[in-house]
């Protein structure tokens, strides 16, 4: 993300230090910050005073949204995939996120590590075994007989659907739009300025501020869902290794400790805390994945991967637009597909700003490959290794399915228990989740501070600290109100406005790239004129 433009050079005339000569800092939090904090404070107060009322309201609202507007959570991600593929394959793929001479600030390895660990790292552990096993036990939409090989393929197919290109395409559109707006156009690092080609001057008034407020609230609740999942996973791991009780009090303490750590990491900046933690987590993840692949059912995993990828590709469009036909299917969609797509939408602004920040100097084509292609492949491999191993073990009578049904947080550790050195791998997993927890939350804290401080790349320490505390507080309160269900509902409801915002971002991105100065001559020249110029260039000098 480009640095903001320097303020105009002031005259060298000495002015008297009077109160009238003082001007507010351009990076000082304004109305967006005040409204966002006010709304979140009202939510916190509601949760503290009447948690039952809040839980009932969220449940009723979410049931209506899923039944009436759930299809929007399917259509938008599919459109995002199409847009990114189009941009990467077209001539616009050569546009750089910055000036034509800009080059990447981070190595490809560091860049990919930050993308993977700071974006959806906790989900790799929270859902890496739990989701495939859940679909294996109860195949989605009755598409296979439970606990069969067909069910195993369907389990991986829907895991790919929920965690693959559909998720990363949402992030990619946000990131590309904001990266183009900030690096190429020199605008503030906010969502609203990128919508100028569609909304015009509306982005300068209250409407633009409302969009940025929505972005902040959705980002906060999308992240609190991850924090709740992470706390549950850490609690489960500590219980297995050290015998700590598994329950809400311990999870609150875990969130409190982690909140302090990720806030301190965010205060250190992207180049220090976030970058180094991301690289460490990626290293540990690779080691753990290789260990499970080698020590586990290697042949089964390999065959399942290619068969599941083939099934995913074959059913891509029908699966992407499948909607519920019964009340039971609606419930399933609300717990899985609708929630997953809404979760990614709620993360869109956070991830988009973060991706834009770390992707300066890369071309559109490089960005799409690094954000849509590589992470999707990594997640396909991860879910097949861990989910496939658990499925094979359960087929052999290991009882992992029963453990998953009893407590979804125990699924990953139940799989590791079937391999050598379970205590060691459990400790590594706890460390991995904690680092994922920190790297994702400190990136979130930085982005929330940036969005609420007029897009500045250097938000103040008090603002960073405040957002760190609010993130941890909201996560705790949602766990108290309704556990994982409340976390999911908050993410889904906060994401609803973003179904429209993402669509507008896509339209804006097309308009912006088509009007890019890089293609100005080609845009206005006629084909005949270009052909004539080419012929003139090929004629001998004597003919000219």
Ranked by mean pLDDT, which of 18-27, 220-229, 282-291, 492-501 comes out on top?
282-291
φ, ψ (nearest 5 deg) of residue 28: -70, 135
**DSSP letter string over 464-500?**
HHHHHHHHHHHHHHHHHHHHHHHHHHHHHHHHHHHHH
Tell me the pLDDT band of 272, cut-offs 50, 70 and 90.
Answer: low
Least confident of 140-154, 199-213, 217-231: 217-231
How many Å apart are CA 259 and CA 415, to the nearest integer?
Answer: 29
SS3 96: strand
CA separation for the pair 488, 470 (Å, rounded): 18
Name the pLDDT band for 482 (thresholds 50, 70, 90): low
Structure tokens that stand for 120 in this block = 């959806």
What's the pLDDT score for residue 170? 93
Question: 96: which strand partners?
Answer: 363
Mean per-residue pLDDT, 142-171: 94
- The chain-wide mean pLDDT, for the chain, equals 82
- pLDDT tens digit string along 492-516? 777 788 888 888 999 999 988 888 8
φ, ψ for residue 245 (rounded to 5)? -65, 150
Average pLDDT score over residue span 174-198: 87
User: Residue 356's pLDDT is what?
Assistant: 87
**Stretch 227-249: mean pLDDT:** 81
Who wins on pLDDT, 543 or 397? Answer: 397
Mean pLDDT of 263-279: 67
pLDDT at 166 over 70: yes
Compute φ and ψ for 96, nearest 5 degrees. -95, 145
Q: What is the pLDDT of residues 36-89, one digit of tens each?
A: 888 888 887 887 788 788 778 888 888 888 888 889 999 999 999 999 999 999
What pLDDT, on a 0 to 100 scale, did the predictor assign at position 1?
A: 39
Residue 292 has pLDDT above 80, yes or no: yes
pLDDT at 12: 44
pLDDT score recorded for residue 530: 59
Which pLDDT tens digit goes with each residue over 427-471?
898 888 888 777 777 777 878 888 888 877 778 888 888 888 888
Which residues, in sequence order, are bridge partners of residue 363? 96
Confidence class for position 5, pLDDT limits 50, 70, 90: very low
Q: Does domain 72-514 have CATH number 1.10.760?
A: no
Length of the chain equals 544
pLDDT at 118 over 90: no
Q: What is the pLDDT of residues 312-339, one digit of tens each?
A: 999 999 999 999 988 889 889 988 999 8
Q: In terms of pLDDT, which residue wins out, 275 or 260?
A: 260
Checking if the pLDDT of 539 tops 80, the result is: no
Q: Supply 160's token pair.
A: 């790919």
**Given a cut of 60, is residue 542 above it in pLDDT?**
no
Q: Is residue 8 pLDDT above 70, yes or no?
A: no
pLDDT tens column, 99-113:
888 888 888 888 888
- pLDDT tens per residue across span 355-408: 888 899 999 999 999 999 999 999 999 999 999 999 999 999 888 988 888 888
In the structure encoding, which two tokens stand for residue 42, read together?
Answer: 């009202």
d(CA 90, CA 88): 6
pLDDT at 525: 55
**pLDDT for 83:** 95
The pLDDT score that the predictor gives to residue 25 is: 53
Residue 244: count of CB within 10 angstroms of its CB: 16
pLDDT tens-digit map of 13-26 = 444 444 444 444 55
Measured at the CA of 452, the angle between CA 448 and CA 456, to 5 degrees, comes to 90
Tokens (6 digits) for 530 = 């270009």
Q: Which residues have CB under 8 Å from 458's CB, separation 6+?
A: 27
**Those residues with Cβ within 8 angstroms of residue 542's Cβ, 6 or more apart along the chain or in another chain:** none
Integer Cα distance of 202 and 198 in angstroms:
9
pLDDT of residue 270: 53
Q: For residue 18, what pLDDT is reported?
A: 43
Report DSSP letters for 216-256, one per residue: HHHHHHHHHHHHHHHHHHHHHHHHHHH----SHHHHHHHHH
Cβ contact 242:487 at 8 Å? no
């Amino acid at each position: 993300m480009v640095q903001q433009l320097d303020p105009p050079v002031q005259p060298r005339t000495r002015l008297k230090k009077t109160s009238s000569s003082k001007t507010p800092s351009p990076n000082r939090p304004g109305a967006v910050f005040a409204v966002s904090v006010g709304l979140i404070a009202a939510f916190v107060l509601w949760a503290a005073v009447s948690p039952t009322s809040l839980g009932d309201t969220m449940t009723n609202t979410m049931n209506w949204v899923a039944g009436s507007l759930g299809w929007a959570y399917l259509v938008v991600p599919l459109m995002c995939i199409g847009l990114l593929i189009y941009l990467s394959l077209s001539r616009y793929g050569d546009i750089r996120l910055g000036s034509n001479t800009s080059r990447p600030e981070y190595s490809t390895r560091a860049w990919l590590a930050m993308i993977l660990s700071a974006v959806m790292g906790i989900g790799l552990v929270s859902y890496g075994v739990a989701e495939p096993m859940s679909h294996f036990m109860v195949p989605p939409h009755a598409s296979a007989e439970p606990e069969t090989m067909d069910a195993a393929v369907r389990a991986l197919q829907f895991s790919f659907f929920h965690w693959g290109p559909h998720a990363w395409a949402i992030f990619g559109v946000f990131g590309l739009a904001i990266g183009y707006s900030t690096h190429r156009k020199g605008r503030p690092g906010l969502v609203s300025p990128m919508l100028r080609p569609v909304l015009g001057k509306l982005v300068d008034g209250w409407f633009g501020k409302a969009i940025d407020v929505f972005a902040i609230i959705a980002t906060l609740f999308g992240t609190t869902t991850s924090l709740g999942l992470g706390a549950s996973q850490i609690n489960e791991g500590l219980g297995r290794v050290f015998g700590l009780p598994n329950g809400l009090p311990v999870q609150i303490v875990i969130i409190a400790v982690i909140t302090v750590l990720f806030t301190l990491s965010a205060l250190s900046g992207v180049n220090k805390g976030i970058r180094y933690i991301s690289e460490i987590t990626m290293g540990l993840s690779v080691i753990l994945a290789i260990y499970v692949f080698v020590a586990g059912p290697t042949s089964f995993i390999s065959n399942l991967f290619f068969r599941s990828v083939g099934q995913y590709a074959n059913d891509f469009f029908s699966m992407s637009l499948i909607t519920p036909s019964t009340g039971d299917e609606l419930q399933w969609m609300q717990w899985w597909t609708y929630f997953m797509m809404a979760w990614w939408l709620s993360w869109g602004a956070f991830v988009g700003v973060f991706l834009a920040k770390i992707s300066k100097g890369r071309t559109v084509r490089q960005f799409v490959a690094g954000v849509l292609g590589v992470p999707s492949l990594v997640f396909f491999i991860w879910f097949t290794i861990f989910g496939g191993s658990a499925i094979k073990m359960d087929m052999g009578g290991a009882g992992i399915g029963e453990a998953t049904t009893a407590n979804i947080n125990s699924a990953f550790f139940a799989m590791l228990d079937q391999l050598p050195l379970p205590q060691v791998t459990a400790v590594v997993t706890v460390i991995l989740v904690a680092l994922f927890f920190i790297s994702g939350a400190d990136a979130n804290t930085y982005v929330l501070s940036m969005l609420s401080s007029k897009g500045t790349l250097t938000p103040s320490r008090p603002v960073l600290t405040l957002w760190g505390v609010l993130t941890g507080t909201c996560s705790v309160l949602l766990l108290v109100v309704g556990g994982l269900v409340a976390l999911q509902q908050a993410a889904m409801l906060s994401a609803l406005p973003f179904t429209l915002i993402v669509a507008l971002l896509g339209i804006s991105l097309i308009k912006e790239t088509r009007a890019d100065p890089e293609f100005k001559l080609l845009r206005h020249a006629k084909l005949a004129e270009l052909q004539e110029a080419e012929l003139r260039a090929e004629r001998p000098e004597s003919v000219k």
